Structure 1
Amino acid sequence: MNRFTVLRCGFVKRLGPRMGVQGLATLLDSHPRIYRDTKFRKMRLVIDGCNLLYLMYFKSGLDQNHGGEYAAFEDLIERFVKALRDCGIMPYVVLDGGSDHTDKKLETVTLRAESRIKKAHQAAVDGSNEHILPQLAKIVFRQTLARLEVPVAQCFAEADQQIAALANEWQCPVLSNDSDFYIFNLSSGLLPISHFKWEEVESGSQSYIPCKTYHANSFCIALEIEPQLLPTFAALAGNDYVKLKRMESPIDWAQFDPSEKPSHLKGLLCWLKGFNEPQEALEAAMRLMRGVSMERKAEVLQSLSLGKDEYQVPPSSLTKFFIHGMPPLFPAVEKVPGLVPDWMRLPLTQARLTGDVLDVLQLQRMSLSLPVAHRDMPSSNLTSRPLRQVMYGLLLGGGKPIQVEERDRDGLQLKLIPVEPAFRGVAQRLVLSSLDKVELSERLQVLLEALQVTESSLRNLPPQLRLPVAVTCFWLQRAEPPPDERLLKALLLGLSIGDSLRHRAALQDGNQPKLNLNVAHAFNQWQACLKDSIHLNQLLGFPLPEPQVARLYAGTLVHNIVHRMRTGGRLRALLKSDHSSVKQYHAMLSVVHQFHTQRAPSPPETLKKVVAPRHLRQPLEDLTPILQQLFLQDEEEEKEVSSIVRAQEDLCFDELLLVKTRYRTKERNNRCNKPELSRKEECRGLDII
C-alpha cells in the first residue's frame, strides 16, 4: 500500500480538523462507478490546506509521540510540491483562519477536543499512534510552502466555502478528503486525496498524477436523488452544524433501508427519493420526530436550514488576492463592528499572522494545543501562559476588564480557564489599531520583556537562533519541574545540527526507547513556549527573524540523545560535526547558562570552590557566573562544571579549536595503543557536550 494512501472505513473524517458527513466516504466507496479515473496535469488545483496537512502527517509514518519529526515532514511537503510541478500542476493552498463568530460549531469543536485529550493520554501510556498532530506542524507546513513559493491564503474563518468558490471561478478541481466537498456543486469536481497518487507520477513529456475525480451529479445519478437535495441530505444525515443523533427523539433513518444490512445513510437516501424540494423534505422530517414540542421542532428546522445553506457557494473573495495580492475585506461582525484593525487583513490572508488572533478579538477565546501527554502531568500550556497574556493585552487594549477564555486540559477534562491579559512595560503604551506603525525597537522590547531576556545577551547569536535561544531561557525559568542539564544540552544539540535526518538515522540502532513521560513533558513545554513566542513575534511584525522550525526540533532525535546521556550510550556518530556547529552549540550553551545564573540565588559551596584554569581567570569576566549555574546538584556536579569550562574555552578562544584539532590528530595516531581512551571518548561524545 502507498504510504500516503488513506484508509477510508470511517477513518478519513477523524483525521482533520473537520469531519463533515460521517460515513459518506465509505458509502461512496461501495459505488466505485461514481468516480472517474483521471490523468491530472497542467491545471490549477485548489487545495484544502488544513485537510492536506493532517492527512500528510498522519499517513506518512512519522513519529507523533515524541513531539514531531519536522525535518522529515518538511521533506515530505517538498516532494509533494515537486510532484505537482513536474506535472505542470499549479497549486493554490487555502487554510482555515479563526472560528465562526456565531459559535455554530462550538459543540462539535468541544467534543473533538475532549476526544483528543483522551487519545493524547492513551498515546502517552502505550505508545500507540492516536493521530495527535505535533504542536508546531502547522507552522512547518506554512513555512515550507512559503519557502517553496506556493501561493497560500488563510481565510478569516473556516475555508470550505471559499475553497469551493475559488475552484468554481477558476474552473478547476478541489483536492481534499473532507466529505463536505462531496456535497458542494463543484464545476470541475473533487479530487479525493485518498485517490490522489502523487508518489506514483507517470514521468515523460506528458507527466501526470493518476487519480480519481468525483462529481456531485454522478452521486445523484447513482443513488437516485435530486441534485438540489444534496445539501438537505447532508444536514439530515448530521454534519458539523446539525446533530440530530443527539436529539431527545432522533430519527432512525435505517428503517427506510430495505437491504439486508440497513444503514443510516442509505435509509436517508431511500427516504429522500420521494421529494423534489429541500423545504418539503425538511418539513416532512419534522413530522417524523415524535414526542418533540412544536417550539423545539421550529428550532431544529432552523438549524437544518442553516446547515443546508453552508453548501451554497458564494462569490470568491480570494481571486484578487491570488492574482493581485489584494486581501479580502473583513466580514461584518454584528457584535462589534470594526473590531479587527484594517492593517491585519494582509498578514492574516498571507498566513503570516495566526488566525488565533481573530478568536481572541471576536470571541475572547483561545483553543490551545493538546500534545501527547499523561493525564497526571499538568498542561504544558501553563508554562507559556505569560507569553499569551502579553498577546491578549496587545489585542484587547489596556485597562479593559476583559478576560480570555482558554480551552485547555486539566487531567482528562477540557477546562475553560479565564485568563487576564497582561498590561506592563512597553506593551501597555501600544494600541492595536496602530501597532504596525510602532518603531521596530519598541516592538522588539515588548517581545524581549515578555521572554525576560535582554537584546545584548542575544547579540552574538545568528539571527535565526535568537528567538529559539530566548525561548529556551524563558523555558528554563518557567518550566515545571525545572529541566535538568541533559535536557538542555539535548535541546541545544538539536538546534545546532542542521542535518537532523542524517543524525536521527545515526542514532537509530534498533527499537526506539519507550517514551519517557517526564522528558516528553519538558519538551512539550518548550514547544508551547516556542509556538506562543512565534505568534507574539508575528503580531509585533517580526522584530526578531522567524526561525525555520523544521531545523530546530526532531522529536526522536532529542529524546534519543537524552536517553543516551543518561545510560552512557555512544554519541560519537551524532557528534562528528563541523567546527561551526560545535561553536554554535557552545555559544548557545554559554548564553543560556549566563542567563540562568543571573537569575539564580547564591551558588552551592561545591561550585564556589571551583577554580578556573590560570590562563582563563583574568580575560573571562563572565566565567564565574557560568560556574555558578544550578542545573545539577548531585554526584555529577563536578563533571558538569568541567563541561561548562570546556564550552567557555571554545566560545571565547577560537584558536583553541585549532589546538584541539591538532591534538586530536595526534590522539588518533595513538588510539590503537589506548583502547580505553577511545571508549571513554565515545561515551562522552568527543568532549563536545
Structure 2
Amino acid sequence: MGVRGLTGFINKNNIFSQYELSNGTVIVDGYNFLYSLYFDEEIDVKHGGEYSDFYKIFNDFISVLDTCKVKPIFIFDGGHVDERKFPTIKERFEKNLKRSLRIGQGADDDRCILPLFCSHTMIKLFNDLNVCAVWCDFESDPEIAKIANEYRCPVLSADSDFYIMDLPNGFINTSDFQWKTATRRGIKCKIYYRSEFCRRMDILKECVPLVAAFAGNDFNECQMRIGNAITFLKGKTSADTAVNQALKRVNRDVKDRMKREIMSSLSTYDIPETSSTLAYLKNPNAEMPESALYSNFPPWFIALYRKGGVNKDSVDVVLYQQRFLNHYVEDETDSCADNASLSLRKWQYGILAKESSIKEYFREADKLTHKMVTPNKTSVEGLCVPNLEDMQKLSLEEREDWFFNFLETKKGEYENMPAEFHLPIAAFKFWLKHCKPEREYAFALLSSWIVAVNGRKERGAEGMATYKNPYFNLRASHAFSQWQSILKHTIYLNQLLMSPIFECDVTVLYSGRMIFSHLEKGKKEIKAYLQENVPAFSESAKALYDVLKNLIE
C-alpha cells in the first residue's frame, strides 16, 4: 500500500544514484505500472477510456525496452489473502467511488479510476508481443522482491514499499524512469539502494522496516512522521531495542496491541524463502508446492490464471466469498452500473462457488454498501451449471451452448457472422434487452465500433478530426458504463467456460471520446458518413457493418 511521505523524503535527501538501464532484466510491478502509465499519459477517463491509445503507449514502452535490450518481467497481484489490508482496501474503494462520481459532475479529478478494460488491453499486448507476465497467488510485493533478487536485477514500480524491502540490485521509481528519452545506450533513471539509505541515515539494515512500521502506526503521544521515525532509529543497536524504546512512549493499556501491530507491519516486508511465482517462471510445467490456490482450483484454471487468462477476482470469490465491483463515471441517482450484469455474475458464481452466497461491495447512491448474491446453479431448462472441475469434461459445443444460454440468446443467430464478433454482439444484445438504452446511445456505440474496426479512429467521420474536447452527457455515460460492465462479465464467463467463443479485441470495442463525438454529431450525419465510406472500409469493418446495419437503422 506504500509508506506515506517516504518517496518525498528519499527525493529531498537525494538518496539515489544516476543509472542507465540496458542489456539486462527488470522486474515490473504490474498493476502499479499499469496505473502509472495510463494516468501519466493523461489518457481519457471521463468518457469511459481510450483502450487503443493505451495499447499504443504501452507498445511504445515495450519497444523502447527492446531497443535497449532490456527484458521486462511483469508480476501482478492475485487475490487479497491478507485480511489486515481489507480495511485499507475498503477505505480506498470508498474514496475512489466518491471521486469517480465527482468526475461525472465536472470535477477535474480523473487520476482515481482506471477504465474497465485497461488490464485486458495490457494482456492483449503481452500476448501479441510475447512479453513475460505472471499473476501471483496473492500479494505480489514479496514475490517481486524474491524474483528480482533471484534474477539479480532492479524493480520498477511507484510503490514506496520497495524502498523498505531488501533489494541488493536496486529499486527504480517509475517517475524517475525516463523511457521516452532513451537511446540505444540505455534508459536514464535514478536507482535507489537500501544500503545507501542505511549508510546516509545511520540506520541498521534490520531497522529499516521499522521506518514503515512507526510511520504507519498511531502511537498516540508518540505518533511519528517519516523524518521523526528515521531520526528515532538513528544509531539504534538492534530492531528489538528500537521497538522496546518506542513502546515506552505508549500508554500501558495499548502497549500490547501496538507491539502486535508493529510486528505485523514488519512481516509484510519479509521476502519468502520459496515462491510459486518464481517456480512457475523457471518451469511452468513443474509440480508446484501445495497452497490455497493449488488446492482450490484445477490445473487448467491455474495455467490460465498465471497468464491473466482468467480474472483474479475468482480467487476472492472461491476463498473468501466476496468481491469488490467497479468504479464508473455514472449517475449517482441511478442504480450502480454493475447491476446490469448481475445475472451474468450469478452464473459466474454458479461455476465458482460451492454452496455459499457471495458478498458484493458496490455503490448505492454515493455510498459503498454490500449485499449477498446467491449463485445460479441450474439453467432455465433445469440443467446443473458445470463447475470448474467439470469444465474439461465438456465438449466445445457444450461449452458454447452454455455461453449462449447464459447470454439469453440463440446460437443459431451467429452462424453467418464472423467469429470475432460473436461475443461482443451477444453482450450488446444483452445490453439492449436488460438496460433498454436510448436508441441514440446504441447507434453511437455501434457506429464508433465500425470505424474503430476499420482502423481509422484518429480520422473518424468527416468533421471529426479531433476528440480533444468531446461532448459529455452523464446519462449516456451511465448507459455506456452498463455496456462495459456487461461486456466485461461476458468475457469473464467465457473465460470460466475455457473460452469456447472467440476472444474479442477490446481495443476496438470502446473509444469513449469517439462514442460521445458520434453522439453529439447525431445519427443522421454519422449514418451518412458510414453509407458513403463503408465500401472503402476493411473487410472486417464491412463484415461488421453488414451484421449491424439492421441494428443501426
TM-score, normalised to structure 1, is: 0.75
Out of 442, 448, 462, the position equivalent to 1:494 is 448
The Cα offsets for residues 31-68 of structure 1, whole Å up to 9 and x where unpaired, read as 12x21111110101111111110000001121111010
Which residue is equivalent to 2:210? Answer: 232
SS of the residue corresponding to residue 384 of structure 1 reads: helix
Letter of the structure 2 residue corresponding to residue 466 of structure 1: H
The runs of 5 or more residues in structure 2 that have no matched partner are none
Q: Structure 1 residues 477, 106: CA separation in 2 closer, same or farther (over 3 Å shift)?
A: same
Which residue is equivalent to 1:660? Answer: none
SS of the residue corresponding to residue 212 of structure 1 reads: strand
Question: What displacement does 1:510 show?
Answer: 7.4
Which residue is equivalent to 1:421? Answer: 375
Which residue is equivalent to 2:278? Answer: 319
SS of the residue corresponding to residue 359 of structure 2 reads: strand
Q: Which has the larger radius of gyration?
A: 1
- The yes-or-no answer on 1:143 pairing with 2:124 is yes
Which residue is equivalent to 1:467? Answer: 423
- Looking at structure 2, the residues matched to 573 and 440 of structure 1 have their Cα atoms a distance apart, in angstroms, of 37
Which residue is equivalent to 1:529? Answer: 486
- The yes-or-no answer on 1:27 pairing with 2:24 is no
Q: Structure 1 residues 350, 570: CA separation in 2 closer, same or farther (over 3 Å shift)?
A: closer
- The yes-or-no answer on 1:446 pairing with 2:402 is yes
Q: Structure 1 residues 312, 477: CA separation in 2 closer, same or farther (over 3 Å shift)?
A: same
Letter of the structure 2 residue corresponding to residue 484 of structure 1: E
8 A contact 1:427–1:446 mirrored in 2: no
Which residue is equivalent to 1:276? Answer: 237
Where do 1:152-551 residues align within 5 Å?
Answer: 152-203=133-184, 207-238=185-216, 244-245=217-218, 249=220, 251-253=222-224, 264-290=225-251, 293=253, 296-314=254-272, 315-326=274-285, 329=288, 332-333=291-292, 338-397=295-354, 400=355, 402-425=356-379, 428-479=384-435, 482-497=436-451, 498=453, 499-503=455-459, 507-508=464-465, 512-551=469-508
- Looking at structure 1, the residues matched to 394 and 524 of structure 2 have their Cα atoms a distance apart, in angstroms, of 51
SS of the residue corresponding to residue 368 of structure 2 reads: strand
Question: What displacement does 1:302 show?
Answer: 1.7
Q: Structure 1 residues 179, 250: CA separation in 2 closer, same or farther (over 3 Å shift)?
A: farther
SS of the residue corresponding to residue 378 of structure 1 reads: coil
Question: What displacement does 1:489 show?
Answer: 1.8
Question: What displacement does 1:508 show?
Answer: 4.3
SS of the residue corresponding to residue 375 of structure 1 reads: coil
Question: What displacement does 1:388 show?
Answer: 0.6
SS of the residue corresponding to residue 406 of structure 1 reads: strand
RMSD of aligned residue pairs (Cα, Å): 2.3
Q: Structure 1 residues 561, 590: CA separation in 2 closer, same or farther (over 3 Å shift)?
A: closer
Question: What displacement does 1:504 show?
Answer: 5.1
Which residue is equivalent to 1:10? Answer: none
Out of 64, 80, 93, the position equivalent to 1:113 is 93
Out of 15, 38, 58, the position equivalent to 1:77 is 58
8 A contact 2:172–2:192 mirrored in 1: yes
Percent of counterpart pairs with the same letter? Answer: 27
The Cα offsets for residues 652-675 of structure 1, whole Å up to 9 and x where unpaired, read as xxxxxxxxxxxxxxxxxxxxxxxx
Q: Structure 1 residues 39, 528: CA separation in 2 closer, same or farther (over 3 Å shift)?
A: same
Question: What displacement does 1:330 show?
Answer: 6.6
Letter of the structure 2 residue corresponding to residue 113 of structure 1: F
Question: What displacement does 1:459 show?
Answer: 1.7
- Looking at structure 1, the residues matched to 442 and 473 of structure 2 have their Cα atoms a distance apart, in angstroms, of 16
Question: What displacement does 1:590 show?
Answer: 5.4
8 A contact 1:72–1:501 mirrored in 2: no
Higher RCO, Cα 8 Å, sep 6+: 2
8 A contact 1:461–1:587 mirrored in 2: no
The Cα offsets for residues 204-244 of structure 1, whole Å up to 9 and x where unpaired, read as xxx31111111111111222211111112111111xxxxx2
The Cα offsets for residues 475-521 of structure 1, whole Å up to 9 and x where unpaired, read as 11111xx2122221221222223225323596245762442001101
The Cα offsets for residues 169-223 of structure 1, whole Å up to 9 and x where unpaired, read as 01011111110111111121111111111111113xxx31111111111111222
Letter of the structure 2 residue corresponding to residue 99 of structure 1: H
- Looking at structure 2, the residues matched to 66 and 440 of structure 1 have their Cα atoms a distance apart, in angstroms, of 37
The Cα offsets for residues 266-305 of structure 1, whole Å up to 9 and x where unpaired, read as 1111111252222332233222222x52xx4323322221
Question: What displacement does 1:250 show?
Answer: 5.8
Q: Structure 1 residues 530, 223: CA separation in 2 closer, same or farther (over 3 Å shift)?
A: same
Question: What displacement does 1:447 show?
Answer: 1.4
TM-score, normalised to structure 2, is: 0.93
- Looking at structure 2, the residues matched to 328 and 575 of structure 1 have their Cα atoms a distance apart, in angstroms, of 59
- Looking at structure 2, the residues matched to 571 and 29 of structure 1 have their Cα atoms a distance apart, in angstroms, of 56
- Looking at structure 1, the residues matched to 47 and 530 of structure 2 have their Cα atoms a distance apart, in angstroms, of 21
Letter of the structure 2 residue corresponding to residue 103 of structure 1: E
